[in-house]
Each structure stands twice: as structure tokens, then as C-alpha cells.
């Protein structure tokens, strides 16, 4: 990638990061926050200016566009997706991106909060990026490179394809999605509207990562209804829901089943929200595991804790409701590994050693794959998402652009049927 394109790639991430696009999982609107549309309108206009076709912002908040193919034979239509929303785990308004040129390998002290330090001694990936141009926030907010780095990569791919007709490719569908962080967005996009045979999310981290395996996920909501009464007359009569909630947490497995104590292929039970009073408490958990048996075991553990609290205090009403979220994309992709295999080859052609990394989370591709559109996940060059220590490497993002171009070339060379999907 030439220096001018590298500068535009950097500029895109900085510009997109400044737009507040935080989603809200407590909202019932579509999308969950109107501010996500602020960036979507910018992207819509930018794709039009680049010369993309069929550019539109639909009623559910998705930006869709087409880059028409330039090969004569029928080849699969490939979609590239990235999400515009940022996580609700940390402050995300008034983001002030900082560009660190020619990173020297030392600690990155963020000036907005000098207590926030990104240390290569504990961040091995950072230690390997000496000489790169790095982008961080100032320490007061997250950066939002998850997934605005992916957005910048895809816009840059679109610019390359539209400006250089010598790059062979079939039809390419561009899709920028809202509400990935809440898990609620992609369900509002019909596969027929995306109109692709295979897709890739640009929502991974380190250079070379190709993901075709994700967590399976459920959500659990436990509600404890106690008995409220004036505390001065409470003896033998009050049932404090807050106290029972504390006991419920003690009843849960305290080791090897929380995010703080697991890694690799371990699943977990994670309390993400608790609210209420002595009269009524609601606890929200997410359950994650790579295998369905493990996910089921997490649900049983929660139900057992719920039952123990109910038995301890029969006057309380204690309920546990578990709802399905998404499933490991591997269950479908392993039936036809060509989308993943071509991605791995594209990484190699970009001069990078690929790594096959199971993602300890989910992507829009988890749901798309389950619905019938095979959608592995590719690296976008960001790290330490969802917090103030987030950073991105422009050089890694450039390799993601190069990987996408090679991937589209590979699909243009395919002479066999596209992966079976339900949308064509």
C-alpha cells in the first residue's frame, strides 16, 4: 500500500473514532441509539463519492453498497461487513484520538489520564509493533477501533477496487451494521437484502487472525422478589432481595467460571448488570462456551443457585429465565471450510503468517452463519477493545486491506459453486 493510501487509512480511523456511536442494550429502538446514524450518513456519502453503486441507508440503520464485479465468468458475490457501534463498557463520547508515529517500543502514557498506561511488558502484541503508527484515545474514553478500524479497512478496500480496475473481483457487497455490541442489530438485516454468497466480518484483532469459531451464547435473567416493610418493624417479616442476591452470587461456582479466571477455550458465567432494591432485584448474566454441553452446564449452575435461594427463603419469589443468543459459527462452517481456507490463503499472499484463533466472543458473522450465510471473521488491527487501553496499528490495518484484496482475487478465480446459502 502506498504512502498516500496509508495516510487516508489513518485519517479514516481518526475521523470515524471522533463520532460517538455507542449503542444501548437497554433500548428498544432500531437502531438502539440515533447517534449511530451520524456515522452511517458519513459513510453513505463517502461511498457515493468513491463511486460505489446502490448505496443506501435502510430503515434499520444499515449502510449497504455494491462494487460491481469486473470478471466475465459467474463468480460468488462476497460481502464485507463491519459494525459502527461501540461498546457500552466504558465512556465513548468526546473521543480524542492520538496518533503515535514510529512507536519506539516503550510505554504509552495517555495524557487525558496519566494513570492509564499501555505497557508492552504486559501487552505482548504491542511489544511486537515497534516502528508502527499507533492510534489510541487520550485515556478518558475507549477509542472505538472495535470496529471502526474494520470500517476504515473496508472503505479503503472499496477505494482501491473502484480506482484500480486491474484488480479482478466479482460483485462485492459492502455492509456497515449497527448494534453489533448489543447483539440485536444483524437480526434486522434480511439475507436477501445483503444478497451475497459468502461474507466476512472485519472485526478481529491482531495481524493474520482468521476466525471461524466463536462462543455459543445465552443470556440469563434472575429476578428475586422479596417482602418490603419498614425496617423498624422488619423482624421476622422483611425478606431483603438484595441480601438474597448476594447469597445467590456466593452459591455460584467461584472459580474457573468467570471471565477473570478463564481463557483459551474455557467458557464462563458473567454477571453484567444488577439493579433493584430490598424489595425486588434483577440480575443479568451472559453465559458463554465453545461447546453446547458447556453452555448447558452454565445454565444448570445458575438454575441450581436460583433453586438454592428459593429453598433458603420460601417467602421470596425467585425466577431464572434463560434465552438463546447465538451459536458457535464452527458448527456450520466446518461443513464447508472453503470460506476459511481462502481467507487463510489470502493472509499468506499478503505476506503474513495466518493464525486460526477462536474468538472469545461473538460477531455479526455468528448469527449470519447460523442463518445460512457463511461468515468467518478477519483481523482489523485493533487491540484491547472495550476500554481506555484500546489501540490500533495502521500497518496492521493496511495488511487487512491487502488481505481483503487478495481474498476477492481468490474468489474471482473460483470455478466451483459458491458455498450453499439461503439468500440467493
Helices 36-50, 3-17: inter-axial angle, 10-degree rounding: 150
- Whole-number Å distance between alpha carbons of 111 and 97: 11
- Taking residues 235-252, what's their average pLDDT? 95
For 358-369, the pLDDT digits (tens) are 888 888 999 999
- Taking residues 337-343, what's their average pLDDT? 97
Residue 58 sits in the same domain as residue 206: yes
**Which residues contact residue 108 at a Cβ distance below 8 angstroms, ignoring those fewer than 6 apart?**
100, 117, 118, 126, 134, 136, 391
Domain boundary among 287, 306, 326: 326
Give the domain extent around 111: 3-214+328-412
Residue 201 sits in the same domain as residue 115: yes
Measured CA distances, 89 to 76, 85, 158, 351 (Å): 38, 12, 31, 35
Q: What is the CATH number of the domain that holds 268?
A: 3.30.70.360
For 22-56, the pLDDT digits (tens) are 999 889 999 999 999 999 999 999 999 999 999 99
Domain boundary among 326, 355, 387: 326
Residue 179 sits in the same domain as residue 209: yes
Q: In what side-by-side order are the strands of the sheet with 391-393? A: 98-100, 134-136, 391-393, 382-383
Confidence of residue 64 (pLDDT cuts 50, 70, 90): very high
Residue 165 sits in the same domain as residue 229: no
pLDDT of residue 1: 84
C-alpha cell at 237: 417479616
- Within-domain flag for 420: no
Active-site residues: which are they? 85, 180
| Ramachandran category for residue 76: left, alpha or beta (phi over 0 → left; psi -120 to 50 → alpha) | beta
Residue 423 has pLDDT above 60, yes or no: no
For 257-280, the pLDDT digits (tens) are 889 888 889 999 999 999 999 999
On the 0-12 / 13-18 / 19+ scale of CB atoms within 10 A, 308 is: middle
For 411-420, the pLDDT digits (tens) are 999 764 555 5
Residue 284: beta bridge partners? 221, 273
Concatenated DSSP letters of 16-60: HHTS--B--TT--SSSS-TTHHHHHHHHHHHHHHHT-EEEEE-TT
- Whole-number Å distance between alpha carbons of 241 and 236: 14
- Taking residues 329-347, what's their average pLDDT? 95
* pTM score of the predicted model: 0.90
What is the total count of domains within the chain?
2
- Taking residues 290-319, what's their average pLDDT? 95
Cis preceding-peptide flag for 31 (omega within 30 of 0):
yes
Amino acid at each position: 500500500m502506498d504512502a498516500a493510501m496509508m495516510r487516508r487509512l489513518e485519517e479514516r480511523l481518526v475521523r470515524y473514532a471522533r463520532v460517538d456511536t455507542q449503542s444501548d442494550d437497554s433500548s428498544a429502538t432500531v437502531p438502539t441509539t440515533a447517534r449511530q446514524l451520524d456515522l452511517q450518513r458519513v459513510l453513505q456519502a463517502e461511498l457515493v463519492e468513491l463511486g460505489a453503486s446502490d448505496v443506501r441507508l435502510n430503515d434499520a440503520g444499515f449502510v449497504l453498497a455494491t462494487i460491481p464485479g469486473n470478471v466475465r465468468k459467474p463468480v460468488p458475490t462476497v460481502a464485507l461487513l463491519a459494525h459502527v457501534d461501540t461498546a457500552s463498557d466504558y465512556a465513548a463520547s468526546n473521543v480524542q484520538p492520538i496518533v503515535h508515529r514510529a512507536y519506539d517500543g516503550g510505554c504509552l502514557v495517555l495524557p487525558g489520564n496519566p494513570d492509564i498506561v499501555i505497557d508492552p511488558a504486559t501487552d505482548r502484541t504491542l511489544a511486537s509493533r515497534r516502528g508502527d503508527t499507533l492510534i489510541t484515545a487520550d485515556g478518558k474514553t475507549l477509542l472505538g477501533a472495535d470496529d471502526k478500524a474494520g470500517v476504515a479497512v473496508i472503505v479503503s478496500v472499496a477505494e482501491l477496487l473502484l480506482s484500480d480496475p486491474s484488480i479482478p473481483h466479482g460483485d462485492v457487497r459492502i455492509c456497515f451494521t449497527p448494534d453489533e455490541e448489543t447483539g440485536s442489530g444483524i437480526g434486522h438485516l434480511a439475507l436477501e437484502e445483503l444478497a451475497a454468497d459468502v461474507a466476512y466480518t472485519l472485526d478481529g484483532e491482531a495481524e493474520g487472525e482468521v476466525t471461524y469459531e466463536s462462543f455459543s451464547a445465552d443470556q440469563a435473567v434472575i429476578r428475586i422478589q422479596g417482602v418490603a416493610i419498614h425496617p423498624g418493624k422488619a423482624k421476622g417479616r422483611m425478606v431483603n432481595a438484595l441480601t438474597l442476591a448476594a447469597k445467590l452470587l456466593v452459591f455460584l461456582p467461584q472459580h474457573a467460571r468467570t471471565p477473570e479466571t478463564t481463557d483459551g477455550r474455557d467458557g464462563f458465567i458473567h454477571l453484567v448488570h444488577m439493579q433493584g432494591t430490598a424489595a425486588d432485584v434483577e440480575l443479568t448474566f451472559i453465559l458463554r462456551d465453545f461447546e453446547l454441553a458447556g453452555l448447558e452446564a452454565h445454565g444448570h449452575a445458575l438454575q441450581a443457585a436460583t433453586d438454592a435461594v428459593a429453598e433458603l427463603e420460601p417467602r421470596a419469589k425467585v425466577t431464572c429465565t434463560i434465552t438463546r443468543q447465538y451459536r458457535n459459527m464452527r458448527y456450520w462452517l466446518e461443513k464447508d471450510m472453503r470460506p476459511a481456507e481462502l481467507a487463510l490463503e489470502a493472509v499468506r499472499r499478503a505476506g503474513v503468517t495466518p493464525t486460526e484463533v477462536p474468538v472469545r466472543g461473538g460477531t455479526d458473522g455468528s448469527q449470519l452463519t447460523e442463518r445460512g450465510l457463511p461468515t468467518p471473521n478477519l483481523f482489523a488491527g485493533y487491540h484491547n477493545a472495550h476500554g481506555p487501553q484500546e489501540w490500533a496499528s495502521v500497518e496492521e490495518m493496511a495488511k487487512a486491506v491487502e488481505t481483503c484484496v487478495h481474498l476477492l482475487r481468490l474468489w474471482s478465480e473460483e470455478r466451483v459453486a459458491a458455498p450453499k446459502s439461503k439468500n440467493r
